[in-house]
Amino acid sequence: MPKSLAVQHAKGEPRSRLELKELNDAELVAEYLDGGRFAFQELVGRYHDRLLNFIYRTIGDRDRSEDLVQETFVRVYRHLHRFDPTKKFSTWIYTIASNLAKNELRNRSRNPMVLFQAIKKNWDADHRPLQWEDRSYAPDDLFRKRHLRAQVEKAVEELPEHHRVVFVLREMEGKTYEEISEITGVTLGTVKSRLNRARNKFAQIIAPMLE
């Protein structure tokens, strides 16, 4: 463990939440394994939004994404004692989430009913949640921007699953090639090739809309 608050802290004394915020992920894991009750909560706070976004962009179903994020944390909680502290915690937790997302997509392809339900949800604009409009935009701009966002979302959904995971991890989550390679369990060369193809395909889909 690197020199940090975790080393300086006297053993047996519970840390305040403020102190926990200053620890890095590995230190939080160590703190939790030493009996720090709130360390796990801090990890949940750091990752739940990010994981929700990653899984949502991968599988496209918000409610199911939330279930899978819960499942990710349950698995992390159960197996935290097995976590290798020499590795990056974020890579580990993203690997678990990515595997759950992959399984979800695999199950959907086996059960078309689930896919249908997922598509049916939000299929109509009337079913989408209402949002306050930003009045600083002119209606045309607002419409165009919304339309473009919807098209971009659709373009990402159209990418093949293994390309989409790599694309989301790189472009949305800002992961390095090495991290993506670890998370997805493929070689660095495969990551590069998939990312290149994903960008290429993405450009092909959205080009007519951006011209």
Nearer to other proteins, 138 or 210 (CB): 210
φ, ψ dihedrals at 9, nearest 5°? -75, 135
Helix (H/G/I), strand (E/B), else coil: 23:
coil
Choice between 23 and 69, CB closer to other proteins: 69
Which CB, 7 or 123, lies closer to other proteins? 123
Provide the CA 29 distance to its chain's centre, in angstroms. Answer: 20
Between 1 and 74, name the residue whose CB sits nearer to other proteins. Answer: 74
Name the minimum Å distance from CB 176 to other proteins. Answer: 9
> What are the strands, taking DSSP E only, across 52-111?
none
Q: How far is the CB of 23 from other proteins (least distance, A)?
A: 20
Shortest Å, Cβ 142 to other proteins:
14
Task: Please say whether the beta carbons of 184 and 155 come within 8 A.
Answer: no
Distance CA 30, CA 196 (A): 38
Q: Which is nearer to other proteins, 7 or 49 (CB)?
A: 49
Residues that bind other proteins (CB under 8 A): 40, 44, 48-49, 52-53, 56-57, 62, 65-66, 69-70, 73-74, 77-78, 148-149, 152-153, 155-156, 170-172, 177, 192, 195-196, 199-200, 202-203, 206-207, 210
Please state at what angle helix 39-59 crosses helix 25-33, rounded to 10 degrees: 130
Rounded least distance, CB 26 to other proteins, Å: 21
- Judged on CB neighbours under 10 Å (0-12, 13-18, 19+), 161 is middle
**DSSP-assigned letters across all residues of 7-72:** HHSPTTPPPPHHHHHTS-HHHHHHHHHTT-TTHHHHHHHHHHHHHHHHHHHHH--HHHHHHHHHHH
Cβ distance to other proteins smaller for residue 89 or 167: 167
Closest separation between CB of residue 53 and other proteins, Å? 5
* Minimum distance of other proteins from residue 172's CB (angstroms): 6
